[in-house]
Every structure is written in structure tokens, then in C-alpha cells.
Amino acid sequence: MLVGNLLIITTIKTSRALSSPMYFFLFHLSLSDTCFSTSIAPRSLVDSLSKKTTISFSECIIQVFTFHFFGCLEIFILILMAVDRYVVICKSLHYMTIMSRQVCSVLMAVAWVGSCVHSLVKIFLALHLPFCDPNEIDHYFCDLEPLLKLACTDTYVTNLLLVSNSGAICTVSFVVLMFSYIIILHSLRNHSAEGRRKTLSTCISHFIVVILFFGPCIFTYT
């Protein structure tokens, strides 16, 4: 997966032919997915090989932040890609005007800022909790739910806020994505058979990614 993402990033970055908004969002999706996977996997592999089972509190917080930041960023980028598909299919004559380079850059900046705010809220809530012994996390990486179990106080409200935050983002985003695809499929009634085939071929890969990504998220955080 890492090699595949790096190939996509390199190809889009070095090819002038791949300059449409679709490839702009695909570039950022691959970049985000690369950062998302490397926020956990390298440390887990090194610790497994070295038989090391300890991590400092600051490293744990950084791991929590990067994991949720890039995970949330992927969700927002998937939504932007769905919007891009909607515009190119349903507003094809105005596509380049609506999805200009400037608009895409602003949308991506909003996605980065929104992801940062989402992660900072989680970290803020976690840092205000008192922690004491035992200090063993019952998980293979630092996540908020196992971290909250180490707190010396009642974490019901904090846990409810954290789960509601992640659950709301996952569920609402998934509903928005599904609604956008319903609109796209509805608009295909006016297309020819060849047009429907081409449209579905460009959307089905994105739809599969959405299902594979949101399935575990909704199961975990709702």
C-alpha cells in the first residue's frame, strides 16, 4: 500500500497531463493515506522486532494526534472527491469554472484545518485528565479509548464527547457521500448506455474505497 501510494504521488506530481481536480484530490488522498499508515505501522514494527513495549506519554499523544488527524483528513478528501464527481457528471459544462484550481486549493485547506481542529479537540480533552498507575495500555498502539482507561477520574463525559465527535464525523460524512452517489446515479438516467458505463467506471473505485474506509470507522466509533 505504501509503495502504491508513493507511485501515485510521484506520477501525479511529475505528469502535466494529470492536472485535473480529480488527480489533485487523488494526490492529497494518497499523501494522507501514506501519512496515516506510517503514523502507526513503523513504530509497531520496530517495537515488535525489538521486543520493546514502552512508549513515553508525549510520544503517545503525538501518535494519537497524527492517527486522528490523517484519518479525519482522508474522510474530508473522500467527500471532496465525491463532490468533484458530482460536478463533473451533473454540471459538466461548468466543471472547470466550479472546480477551478483556486477553489480546489481552498477546499483542501479547509480539509486540513478541519482535521487539525478535530484532532486538537481530542488531545485537549485527553490532556486535562489525571493519569496514574497502572500505566499499561491494552492496545497495540496509542488511541484515546484505551488511554482514557488509565485516567484516575470518571471519564464518562469525556469518553462520550470523544466518541460523539468521531462518530458524528464518520456517520454524517458517510451519509453525505451516499447521498451524493444517489444523486449521481439518479442523473445517469438521462445519459446513454455508453455514458453510464464510463461514469460508473470512474466512480466505482472511489465507492469501494469509501465502503472499506468507513465500515471499520463506523463500527469502531458509533
pLDDT in tens, the chain (222 residues): 678 888 888 988 888 778 788 889 989 999 998 988 888 877 777 777 777 777 778 888 888 899 889 988 998 998 898 888 888 888 878 888 888 889 999 999 999 999 999 899 888 888 888 877 667 776 777 878 778 888 888 888 888 888 777 778 877 887 888 888 888 777 777 766 766 676 677 677 777 777 777 777 666 655
Would you state the pLDDT for residue 195? 66
Phi and psi angles of residue 54, each rounded to the nearest 5 degrees, phi first: -115, 150
Closest CA to 126 of 151, 108, 104: 151
Q: Please, which residues bridge with residue 151 across strands? A: 131
What pLDDT score was predicted for residue 77? 92
Position 106 scores a pLDDT of: 94
Helix 21-38 × helix 101-127 angle, to 10°: 20
How many CA atoms lie within 13 Å of 37's alpha carbon, on the beta-carbon side?
A: 12
> Would you list the domain boundaries of the chain?
56-221
SS3 137: coil
The pLDDT value recorded for residue 69 is 93
Cell 467506471 sits on residue: 201
Q: Length of the chain, please?
A: 222
Beta carbons within 8 Å of 123's beta carbon, 6+ residues apart: 61, 64, 65
Name the grid cell of 174. Answer: 458517510
Rounded to the nearest 5°, which phi and psi values hold at 155? -110, 20
Predicted pLDDT at 114:
92
Q: Is residue 61 within 8 Å of residue 124, measured between CB atoms?
A: no
pLDDT at position 178 = 82
- The percent helix, strand, coil of the chain (3-state, each to 5) is 80, 0, 20
